[in-house]
Structure 1
Amino acid sequence: MNRVLLLMVGSAASLALIFSTLMVGEQTSSNDPQRSLMLFCAASNRAVMEAIRADYEAEFGRKVEIQYGPSQTLLSSIEVTRAGDLFLPADDSYLEMASEKQLIAEVLPIARMQAVVAVKRNNPLAINTIADMSRDDVRLVLANPETAAVGKVVRDVLTKSGRWDALAGSAIALRTTVNEVANDVAIGAADAAIVYDAVLHTYDDLQYVELPELEPAASQISLGVIASTTQPQAALHFARYVSARDRGLKRYAEFGFRTEGGDQWSDVPELSMFAGSMLRPAIEETIAAFEQREGVKVHRVYNGCGVLVAQMKAGQHPDAYFACDTEFMDQVHDLFPQPVPVSQNELVLLVQKGNPKKIKSLRDLTRKDLRVGIGHEKQCAMGWITQNTFRESGIQKEVMPNVTVQSPTGDMLVNQMLTGSLDTAVVYLSNAAGAADSLDAIRIQDLPCSVATQPWAVAEESKHAELASRLFQRICSQSSQQTFAAEGFQWQANGSER
């Protein structure tokens, strides 16, 4: 009966939370640029979030309204009302569920919490093992797995080891939130409870015991931006503040959470990116949309990858690099140690519409009557791959006398084809895509060396690595992948990075 009553109380609390959320949504005007933000936050993060809220409101003047509660209840409220701007549950599994339901647009990692056993200071009942919690002289309280993240995480871990049923059977009560569980031990209504370590930071009379059986029961805390928010820039501004290593993460560390990483705080972050010229049509609109949504600036430099590598070796170090081929990423491996292959692009023979010169294969490029354009071997990946392709085909010595132009980018070769300065050019399929009305592309058959792979990487020394990671997630979105396909690229990445 006690468990049924607890579930009924939890359901009533859920309904109350949903009602209050609807009221907040009705009272706020989406046209007010200074209107408050609405954050749904797990009860386990209440103390630290109150400190962060005070810091943020003092620094920027924008109010942050916070609804605290069990993670599952908060998720249900978001799903029903589609209201609010941000969601911070006590475990990432709730964000995964929210993302599957398309409720969350961005996720920013923050900190970790570890499941531990809460006991009175000096541990008077000597509770040191998982078996001790089931003793007759120990009153055990647990968090409800149906509402609280710590309860769900602990149940999942202990079920795998076959210990959950016995432990749950020993509990005198299941509480809705982790704070209620800790309060029971603090007021003497219980002798032991499983809570998150960070929750005990504000309880002077309590301490925790770490058990090996609970070691896998750790929760990653991240902050999600609700997809239906009508003020994404403001929501992301606060999210970046919470996850910045010199703002919100400092508070999280003070309150006993386990933190690492995080971007350096900036009111309007500026991200620098180098990218091969041939990638511009595939990513430019995506980057512009990212800037608008995040309220940030992305400084991009498009050029031949040989030119970009030379600039980086001379000391210019961007936050991110999107290379035309792995060869040019490898040349700056010390700056970008973890590249991710994103797409592929193949070389083609570009000819005038209708192919008046009757060019059908690489071998035809050796004919004496042709003016051929190629990429510069030292300045761009396209030129380097072209030379490899000529060598593999055994035509390099014969074709080079016909080469009248060596360009750092494919776009320059396309322009010269359009003006009639060249009879044919070796370019990427993506270069040819934008000139299909005036030029034809002939595919090069059965030569793997004529295919380039485009990798993405974030600089190890970047101060805005998380921001760059979110840009990459936008580049991996379905709409972006469609743009890549329309521009002649073949998609390779699975969408994960860092």
Structure 2
Amino acid sequence: MSRIYALMGVSVIAFALLLLAMSGGGSKQSGDGLLFYCAASNRAVMDEILKQYEQETGRRVEIQYGPSQTLLSSLTVAEKGDLFLPADDSYLDLAADDGLVHEVIPIASMRAVIVVPRGNPKGIKQIGDLLDDDVRYVLADPKSAAVGKVVQRELEKTGQWKTLAENVTSFRATVTEVANDVLVGAVDAGIVYDAVLHTYPDLQAVEDPSLADTESIIAVGVLGSSKHPEDALHFARYVAAADRGLEHYQGHGFTITNGDLWAERPELTIYAGSMLRPAIEETIKNFQQREGVDVLTKYNGCGILVAEMRTGPTPDAYFACDVEFMNQVNDLFLEPVSVSQNELVILVPKGNPEKITGLRDLARNDLRVGIGHEKQCAMGWLTQNTLKESGVQSEIMGRDPVQMNTGDLLVNAMRTGALDAVVVYLSNAAGAGELFQAIRIKEIECSIAVQPWAVARESKYPLLASRLFSQICSAESQATFKKKGFRWDFTQDQAVAAGGGSADE
């Protein structure tokens, strides 16, 4: 009996050790901190980044390495964690579709290649050579590993996958297991990501045109389950920073993106036309709180903002009141995208006591009229065009109307009774229905202003600016724009031109 109990005790201990290995064997514990799910293919580079990050910031991160699909399943079931970095961004798309991922920050890319021992003793030159009778090869399992998934996708297009999968020696759970099998001589070849071979000097890559389109985009996503999104974004920004994490990625053979420069707490500067302030102010406030950054905003007439940009510093992004004022500084910014529209209207007191019906009525001698300043704001420039096209410019300007550089100032003058009618944007009248009413300008079609957004060519934080733009394009933000009198103009197809941000629909 004592021998039986001893054997039972050994079995219990062995089982406990097995459970421990299963739960923590793929993790690198750095103490209490963020929980980061990371693809095994990124382990070598991420270990370096993590070490530098902890030394530089004193912050801790717990990493769980594994196959991309396994990690996705784990974070889905566990409903906890802070960050997810798979070997292919298709897994982030799946996670986002399920509402598991919020922000996504691009990092690098890698491509699948055939891996063989140094010197290529079997003389393998292409995929077809793997099927030779004297060649043993392994593949990453498409059900668990990103490289297996992308290789299957591309080779099914060429009709090569079925035969390759039927004759494989075995499928492996991760790309590193494939490389290790080739390294120890268990097989003659395999298919791995090119960047993985950086840490395998005794192995070499064989490129095949059939694998040319197997590029996998690597990006890190912040999980919706994160209880510390500011800390998670801090680490994500470090990993994707051009002078921090991306230096390690490049050193490991990855093709890196154009990342932001690192800053413990970045300062993002945004110039925006005054009329946009009610639509974006709350979104910006929430963004900087979640990201742990400072957003320095300057609101003014677009003519004034353009003049400042011509003689002073360029902001990280510019949100103009109209395309005309973006065109005046287009050499400073990347390709702009149209986000919203705003309509010029004639604003009069509730009940319209002066019986104003259109622009021509504003030339009456008994009316005190206000318009935007032509050189200081987009609204003034657009008003002059509208008056000109309507054929009433000389009549109205001959009455010497009051000119101000923002619609808000004109509306305030109406509130005090200093003016009888003003030409402003529809958004300027939002929320004041009990005091004023808006009269549509029907005479001419050119009374619509289009508001474009663009990121500065020389911005230190283009990715951060793009994430802010994503929030401006969120469903909640769109609702705010519409509530404030704007029409929504941005489409998802414009996201790439805007710097990579993706709008929540």
Using the size of structure 2 for normalisation, the TM-score is 0.92
1:211 paired residue number = 208
Matched, 1:183 2:172: no
The aligned amino acid for 2:426 is: L
1:166 paired residue number = 163
Contact 1:244 1:264 in 2 (8 A): yes
- Pairing partner for 2:371 from 370, 374, 377: 374
Contact 1:87 1:225 in 2 (8 A): yes
1:62 paired residue number = 59
Residues 39-438 of structure 1 correspond to what in structure 2 (within 5 A)?
Answer: 39-438=36-435
2: distance between equivalents of 1:143 and 1:370? Answer: 79
2: distance between equivalents of 1:161 and 1:362? Answer: 66
1: distance between equivalents of 2:208 and 2:22? Answer: 40
Contact 1:374 1:403 in 2 (8 A): no
Please give the per-residue CA displacement for 1:385-413, whole angstroms capped at 9, x wherever unaligned.
Answer: 10111011111111113343111100000
1: distance between equivalents of 2:142 and 2:265? Answer: 40
Sequence identity of aligned pairs in percent?
61
1:35 Cα deviation from its structure 2 partner: 4.5
- Pairing partner for 1:447 from 444, 450, 456: 444
Using the size of structure 1 for normalisation, the TM-score is 0.93
1:494 paired residue number = 491
1:167 Cα deviation from its structure 2 partner: 1.6
Contact 1:291 1:297 in 2 (8 A): yes
Please give the per-residue CA displacement for 1:239-290, whole angstroms capped at 9, x wherever unaligned.
Answer: 0000001000011111111113100000000001100000000000000000
The worse-fitting range, judged by mean Cα deviation, of 400-409 and 458-467 is: 400-409
**Unaligned residue ranges in structure 2 (runs of 5+):** 1-17, 500-505
Please give the per-residue CA displacement for 1:162-220, whole angstroms capped at 9, x wherever unaligned.
Answer: 21112212211111111111111011111111100111111121010111110100101
1:448 Cα deviation from its structure 2 partner: 2.3
1: distance between equivalents of 2:367 and 2:431? Answer: 23
Contact 1:370 1:402 in 2 (8 A): no
Please give the per-residue CA displacement for 1:266-325, whole angstroms capped at 9, x wherever unaligned.
Answer: 000000110000000000000000010000001110000000000011132000000000
The aligned amino acid for 2:147 is: V
Contact 1:134 1:167 in 2 (8 A): yes
1: distance between equivalents of 2:69 and 2:41? Answer: 13
2: distance between equivalents of 1:253 and 1:58? Answer: 21
1: distance between equivalents of 2:491 and 2:148? Answer: 32
CA 1:112–1:17 in 2, change beyond 3 Å: closer, same or farther?
farther
Please give the per-residue CA displacement for 1:347-404, whole angstroms capped at 9, x wherever unaligned.
Answer: 0100011110011111211222111100011111100110111011111111113343
1: distance between equivalents of 2:20 and 2:173? Answer: 14
2: distance between equivalents of 1:335 and 1:17? Answer: 56
1:438 Cα deviation from its structure 2 partner: 1.1
Residues 17-28 of structure 1 correspond to what in structure 2 (within 5 A)?
Answer: 20=23
2: distance between equivalents of 1:137 and 1:381? Answer: 74
2: distance between equivalents of 1:172 and 1:278? Answer: 66
CA 1:435–1:18 in 2, change beyond 3 Å: closer, same or farther?
farther
CA 1:17–1:391 in 2, change beyond 3 Å: closer, same or farther?
farther
**Unaligned residue ranges in structure 1 (runs of 5+):** 1-14, 29-33
2: distance between equivalents of 1:164 and 1:446? Answer: 65
1:446 Cα deviation from its structure 2 partner: 5.8
Say what the alpha-carbon RMSD is for the aligned residues. Answer: 1.8
CA 1:406–1:49 in 2, change beyond 3 Å: closer, same or farther?
same
The aligned amino acid for 1:293 is: R
Question: How many corresponding residue pairs?
Answer: 475
Contact 2:111 2:216 in 1 (8 A): yes
Contact 1:373 1:403 in 2 (8 A): no
- Pairing partner for 2:459 from 427, 449, 462: 462
CA 1:311–1:275 in 2, change beyond 3 Å: closer, same or farther?
same
1:18 Cα deviation from its structure 2 partner: 13
Contact 1:286 1:480 in 2 (8 A): yes
CA 1:391–1:315 in 2, change beyond 3 Å: closer, same or farther?
same
1: distance between equivalents of 2:242 and 2:422? Answer: 50
CA 1:84–1:446 in 2, change beyond 3 Å: closer, same or farther?
farther
2: distance between equivalents of 1:50 and 1:446? Answer: 66
CA 1:20–1:487 in 2, change beyond 3 Å: closer, same or farther?
farther
1:221 aligns to what SS in structure 2?
strand
The aligned amino acid for 1:224 is: G
1:378 aligns to what SS in structure 2?
coil
2: distance between equivalents of 1:401 and 1:419? Answer: 24
CA 1:98–1:193 in 2, change beyond 3 Å: closer, same or farther?
same
2:3 paired residue number = none
The aligned amino acid for 2:424 is: V
1:108 aligns to what SS in structure 2?
strand
CA 1:36–1:426 in 2, change beyond 3 Å: closer, same or farther?
same
CA 1:19–1:106 in 2, change beyond 3 Å: closer, same or farther?
farther
The aligned amino acid for 2:359 is: L
The aligned amino acid for 2:124 is: I
Structure 1's consecutive aligned runs of 4 or more residues displaced over 6 angstroms after TM superposition are 15-19
